[in-house]
Structure 1
């Protein structure tokens, strides 16, 4: 019975697929630690951890979320619940678009440290880690941990696994790293694009000295005043932020319903919770369509392509279908 309950809980936790969902072993013992207010700086930009995620130190090692670190290094992350395997690999062209928006959104509030100090519960987790097709094992004595549904691993392990340098500066409390693409652009003189974008932005809107070439360059610098048209990046970044918030909300709601279902003692209570789960999924779909409709209107008004909406819809539909199947399978 306990193993079935764990499977159900894990399935519901993974319904929205926002973070890497794993079921903790029944024999695992939670470890209490405190988070650390750590600065995250990747590819020369300070990034903010997603809401609900933290950084912490345990046994003299700094841990950060594997998914966040991989995204920051421009890698795509996947999870196979059947084999409990996390895969980190090069993104496809459509995934690169989503990653770009994710990083733009994270950079918008990246001038703040990861979070204030808070209590964190670590659950040791057995998971297979595959980077670019090669399994990487944590060094002897080190462990992956599940914190609120996300996998955390030591900073040094991430550095070695992805083949780049990710550093921890204890004096400044900063974790920093550079993606392969960023290093290549630096070595080939690619920094000029960012400078160019900033200069073009100054012609009309003041630009941003820390903006990328695409962000600064798409400003309406030549307008010389008046109403400016939002850039493609600002529209899609705003949409991604809203979708990310929706995804988190839907995931948390379904998780709460799932655990309530596990605690339900009567058939009537369980039936009501099943209905509640289906209604929650329907609500998530309706909110998603509203966000996409708004974004489509903004893109068309600016004369931009709406192709990115197909990527949003494809990803969302796959996640919602997975969530619906899990509810149908386990909440009977």
Structure 2
């Protein structure tokens, strides 16, 4: 990757983060003007707001009877007697889709499509870890994001805010619970957050009513199920393969944009050159990671297309779009550096 080899202004760094990282379905690229608008809005919002410093909390999280842990670099913390949680992780754990409109600073949480659900379940498979807790002081930037849950606009309660760290948005636990309409509880004594998806609650309600069980029990880790497996078909259809692939690419795109925006905003607010260099290194590492994820997704799709006797021409379309997005980001960076 060469995105950070040129010495570029902070605005260009964020532009590259939003354009050059975008993974690829066969859709039109984000325009340079839209990206610059995002830079202006995001930077102004961040500079006008406060940064808070908090300590992460040692919290247990149980979702549908399964213990999950947020990805590395994401935390649960307390601020002004309010518990804050990472929105995307919590939403995925409740099997909700999440999209981030970087230009308008808008988060949308909704019921996932069948292909999005496959991606979410794969994500959850990697979240069933038992990493030891490490106390850490973290600094988060206030972000004036708007929220839409299942088509309804939701505003944060007066006196509460949402925060951004490493591309992850944090919201108050109670706000999330009330907005998604799911059962989310906080046990202060055991420091445990317990949440159940609607499907899980319905399943256990049926079990209880049929006399086959005494209540919710810990289940095995969620297992991803493809659309074809659910239908019982022996052969994957072309539409299933490409649909699931593009859902994964869209999820990766959303994740990469939000993560890199967080890193870029940290860069904007960095006070010294040493901190900026460290942030740049982290940005390069994230870009490399996202590129590896893209390659893994399209390689899996190509194998499935071959195994089921379909043309693999669309794979090249995915790769061409990926490279064009990277090149667009590099061209903008070089132009702003001159």
Normalising TM by the smaller chain, what interval?
0.5 to 0.7
TM-score (normalised: structure 1): 0.62
**Counterpart of 1:59?**
80
Alpha-carbon distance in structure 2 between the residues aligned to 1:164 and 1:259? 36
Structure 2 segments unaligned to the other structure (5+ residues): 1-7, 24-38, 230-243, 272-279
Q: Does 1:143 align with 2:161?
A: yes
Alpha-carbon distance in structure 2 between the residues aligned to 1:103 and 1:311? 28
Name the SS of the counterpart of 1:50 in structure 2. coil
1:102-138 deviation digits (Å, cap 9, x = unpaired): 111212x1x346x411011021111111111111000
Name the SS of the counterpart of 1:68 in structure 2. helix
1:156 to 174, 177, 181: 174
Native 8 Å contact 2:105 2:146 kept in 1: yes
2:205 to 182, 187, 190: 187
Native 8 Å contact 1:39 1:112 kept in 2: no
Native 8 Å contact 2:97 2:109 kept in 1: yes
**Counterpart of 1:210?**
220
> How far 1:9 moved relative to its partner?
4.3
> How far 1:170 moved relative to its partner?
1.5
Q: Does 1:289 align with 2:291?
A: no
Name the SS of the counterpart of 1:62 in structure 2. strand
TM-score (normalised: structure 2): 0.61
Q: Does 1:328 align with 2:336?
A: no
Alpha-carbon distance in structure 2 between the residues aligned to 1:177 and 1:186? 14
Within a 5 Å distance, the mapping from 1:154-303 to structure 2 comes to: 154-189=172-207, 210-211=220-221, 285=291, 288-289=294-295, 292-293=298-299
Cα gap change, 1:209/1:50 in structure 2, threshold over 3 Å: closer, same or farther?
closer
> How far 1:144 moved relative to its partner?
0.5
Alpha-carbon distance in structure 2 between the residues aligned to 1:39 and 1:76? 23
Q: Does 1:45 align with 2:84?
A: no
1:225-268 deviation digits (Å, cap 9, x = unpaired): xxxxxxxxxxx9xxx9xx98xx87xx66x968x959x99xxxxx
Alpha-carbon distance in structure 1 between the residues aligned to 2:316 and 2:96? 21
Alpha-carbon distance in structure 2 between the residues aligned to 1:186 and 1:316? 44
1:122 to 140, 162, 173: 140
Query: What is the alpha-carbon root mean square deviation over aligned residues?
Result: 4.9
Native 8 Å contact 2:186 2:194 kept in 1: yes
Structure ranking higher on relative contact order (CA contacts 8 Å, 6+ apart) = 2
Native 8 Å contact 2:13 2:333 kept in 1: no
> How far 1:189 moved relative to its partner?
3.0
Alpha-carbon distance in structure 2 between the residues aligned to 1:52 and 1:311? 35
**Counterpart of 1:89?**
110
Structure 1 segments unaligned to the other structure (5+ residues): 196-207, 219-235, 264-272
Native 8 Å contact 2:85 2:170 kept in 1: yes
1:267-303 deviation digits (Å, cap 9, x = unpaired): xxxxxx9xx98xx979965774367547866x799x8
Alpha-carbon distance in structure 1 between the residues aligned to 2:10 and 2:328? 17
- Is the deviation greater in 128-137 or in 284-293? 284-293
Name the SS of the counterpart of 2:127 in structure 1. helix
> How far 1:29 moved relative to its partner?
2.4
